[in-house]
Structure 1
Amino acid sequence: MKNIVRLGLAFSLLTSVNAFALVDVTLGPRPLFLVADMDEGVLKQNLEKCLRGKPEKSAFSIGHRGAALMFPEHTKESYIAAAQMGAGILECDVTFTKDKELVCRHSQNDLHTTTDVLAHPDLAAKCSVPFIPANPATGEKAKVECRTSDFTLAEFKRLKGKMDGANPEAKTPKEYMDGTPGWRTDLYASRGTLMTHAESIALFKALDVKMTPELKAPVVSMPYDGFSQQDYAQKMIDEYKGAGIKPSDVYAQSFHLEDVKYWITSEPEFGEQAVFLDARMYKDRSWKPTLSGMKALKSVGVEFIAPPLFALVALSSDGKIVPSDYAQMAKQAGLGIITWTLERSGSLNGGGGWYYQSIKEVTNNDGDVFNLLDVLAQDVGVVGVFSDWPATTTFYANCMGIK
């Protein structure tokens, strides 16, 4: 009952009118659709038995930018949808405004694709690169770059979130904003309430979920007007402390190992479960994991590592999905493993795209998402999976008894 009350409170934060009332975790039709799409086998039979089960929240299910498959990412609406789908942890990607206030955006320079900034001429004129239309005669694509650091917090709050996407052939700002990928939808994009980091903390607390903020790499030079990288990393933690959030409810993340080391040293209670987001395998194609490298991370206090899905799995000689060398080495070193991002590839027909690149030969229908998820959970031993549509991961976790 406590969770139901908190979900109702969260929706009261959504709007000044009582439009909705959440009463329980609901998963909708997608789990059934995906199970029906699976190839016949033991896993499908086991999942079918769970389709009538009562869904519950699970910390294994992490809302990646909320529920970004169908809601504008990092908006209040997206976060609430993810919580309703049973995500036990929600993510605010953290960056900062011109006046150094922390806000939830995936990148410091993505406002032109994730918000309606170009619909505000006075604000659009302040963008680092104001809109330049495409030129069919030369083949040049439309250009624009709008950063959170181009605007004060008050200006940022004037914006509305939209589905991430852009039309590179656009000749007008309006045309540019009309670029939602066909496998997403604008059905739930009629309002997208942008949030400060502090507001996300209050909402997540009301939703009774844990929190995983990611400190995004600045695109401006640091220090920024006297604001250093360490100031930035500290301010993020300070907002949790100021809100009275228990360190055990926060999984601070960064792709920058120095940020993680800073938290381990300067904020050990939060650093204890800080997450090193690992991009080495795609930033440098020649990079190979080593056990000594994994142990080195552990030796400096890193407890959790989070690579993309494809880094954790490989194909055996008989075409089975199995843990990769990376996964086995991380486990041997004693690192907890989290991964990203499920449900971010559109249709999985024809290989599944970037996130499935190590197992593309055996990925040919949408139901294969559960084959991957099962290996990640049962064989790799991941402790959490980011998803753009958390209902899928919640359903699997519930079925397998993963809390």
Structure 2
Amino acid sequence: MKTIRFAATAVAVSIATLLAACTTMGTATSGYPTLNGAKPLVIGHRGASGYLPEHTLASYKKAIEMGADFIEPDLVVTKDGELVARHEPNITATTDVSTRAEFASRKTTRKVDGVNETGWFVTDFTLAELRTLRAKQPNAARDKSFDGQFQIPTFREILELAKTESARTGRTIGVYPETKHPTYHVDAGLPIEPRLLALLAEYGYTKKDSPVIIQSFEVSNLKALRKLTQVRLVQLVDADDVDSKGNVTLVAPFDKPYDFAVAKDSRTFPDLLTPKGLAEVKTYADGIGPWKPYLASAAHVMGADGKPRDLNGDGKITDADRVALPPTDVVKNAHAAGLFVHAYTFRSEAPGLLSDYKGDPKAEYKRFYALGVDGLFSDFPDTAVSARDGK
């Protein structure tokens, strides 16, 4: 199993240098070490999902109000062929479907990316049925007081929201759809891509400068899309976890694009981030969307007993007990290949912030802006915008 390894030297100096660089990057529109020198984009991850139930019109609107440049809907397909926004085909965790007696018989087990999942799946519901459900906050650590208030939106409604809010705010609000589990949807006879392109064409979103970016963890669908549209495409890059030394770990189905697994292609996600892999990605995509440890990872401090030390003394071992490692060359190599870099996912909860950031989520944003990321996905877009614009 392949992993990316990171040197653990000069950590404090590296972080201090990067954060200092952030304070001297110049104006809000220039001076950033991005691919084209523009200020990095803030992408509202599933909307403003740190505050409201994800993938709801309310969450997307809040992200826009907080200054997000793009809103990000994950797209899945209903039984009757409608594009809707949910994080996964399995809607058990993000809706109240498990409490609805009328849908009890729909509970089933399906294979998603080679793994059996049990629950309720969008592909078994018509849009009308789906509209009777209500969204809920899947993260137990976040505010659940808004559960049950919002419907599942269609992609058309999201495009309409972006259009309306662009007119209201006087700035262009982009839409950044992800095709969720393309192979799963093809196997279900409900491919995402033709539906997505048809709807984008209705709105005139067919060019490279259209306010749309399409992303996917799979490769073959992006290659097919490249032949059909000029809209910007992004290759997402996943992994399973990070070990105590800061090495990215790979466990199926997070070790490689699932279409690679189906085709018995031995390459893994890290292979896409080598200079050779990036050169290939450039033939069909405009950018990469890597999990942020690929750009700069972190390690636990090990005690004499060989176990990670509880640096903050809260009795738990979390990312807050890790120390940052020097950055990799992924951003530099991607830019050299002509690819922009949009990293994911940035959050504000204390257990997810490295000890170096001392509980300040802005410190993490500033570090990655200084690394030269061209954009990032945030559950808390107001914090991302504030860190970027010095507010």
Same fold (TM over 0.5): yes
Verify: 1:195 aligned to 2:153, yes or no. yes
Please state whether the residue corresponding to 1:263 is helix, strand or coil.
Answer: helix
1:213 to 143, 167, 177: 177
Q: Deviations over 1:348-386 (max 9, x none)?
A: 3xxx3xxx7xxx5x446321x33332232122x111111
Alpha-carbon separation, structure 1, partners of 2:358 and 2:87: 29
1:387 to 375, 378, 391: 378
* 1:278 counterpart residue number: 237
Q: Deviations over 1:303-341 (max 9, x none)?
A: 10010111111479xx77543132332222221100111
- Equivalent residues in 2 for 1:250-265 (5 A)? 250-265=212-227
Amino acid at match of 1:81: K
1:323 to 327, 340, 356: 327
* 1:370 counterpart residue number: 362
Q: Is the 8 A contact 2:296 2:324 kept in 1?
A: no
Q: Deviations over 1:144-200 (max 9, x none)?
A: 511001111110111110001xxxxxxxxxxxxxxx513x11133351221011111
Give the structure-1-normalised TM-score.
0.67
* 2:70 counterpart residue number: 89
Alpha-carbon separation, structure 2, partners of 1:92 and 1:250: 11
- The number of equivalent residue pairs is 301
1:311 to 294, 310, 316: 294
- Name structure 2 gaps, 5 residues minimum: 1-15, 28-38, 111-116, 167-172, 240-247, 257-267, 300-322
Deviates more, 1:307-316 or 1:257-266: 307-316
Q: CA 1:157–1:221 in 2, change beyond 3 Å: closer, same or farther?
A: closer
Amino acid at match of 2:234: V
Q: CA 1:366–1:43 in 2, change beyond 3 Å: closer, same or farther?
A: farther
Alpha-carbon separation, structure 2, partners of 1:126 and 1:376: 43
Amino acid at match of 1:255: F
- 1:78, CA displacement in angstroms? 0.7
* 1:234 counterpart residue number: 194
Alpha-carbon separation, structure 2, partners of 1:250 and 1:221: 22
Give the structure-2-normalised TM-score.
0.69
Amino acid at match of 1:65: R
Please state whether the residue corresponding to 1:112 is helix, strand or coil.
Answer: coil
Q: Is the 8 A contact 1:70 1:188 kept in 2?
A: no
* 2:93 counterpart residue number: 113
* 2:277 counterpart residue number: 293
Q: Is the 8 A contact 1:123 1:155 kept in 2?
A: no
Amino acid at match of 1:211: V
- 1:219, CA displacement in angstroms? 7.3
Q: Is the 8 A contact 1:89 1:210 kept in 2?
A: yes
Q: Is the 8 A contact 1:108 1:219 kept in 2?
A: no
The structure with more helix, counted as a fraction of residues: 1
| Percent of residue pairs identical | 27
- Equivalent residues in 2 for 1:121-132 (5 A)? 121-129=101-109
Deviates more, 1:321-330 or 1:382-391: 321-330
Q: Is the 8 A contact 1:68 1:78 kept in 2?
A: yes
1:103 to 84, 93, 97: 84
Please state whether the residue corresponding to 2:151 is helix, strand or coil.
Answer: coil
Alpha-carbon separation, structure 1, partners of 2:50 and 2:105: 30
* 1:160 counterpart residue number: 134
Please state whether the residue corresponding to 2:93 is helix, strand or coil.
Answer: helix
Q: Is the 8 A contact 1:321 1:372 kept in 2?
A: no
Amino acid at match of 2:82: E
Q: Is the 8 A contact 2:292 2:345 kept in 1?
A: yes
Alpha-carbon separation, structure 2, partners of 1:59 and 1:211: 16
Please state whether the residue corresponding to 1:339 is helix, strand or coil.
Answer: strand
Please state whether the residue corresponding to 1:323 is helix, strand or coil.
Answer: coil
Alpha-carbon separation, structure 2, partners of 1:390 and 1:215: 22
Amino acid at match of 1:78: S
Please state whether the residue corresponding to 1:378 is helix, strand or coil.
Answer: helix
Please state whether the residue corresponding to 1:338 is helix, strand or coil.
Answer: strand
- 1:100, CA displacement in angstroms? 1.6
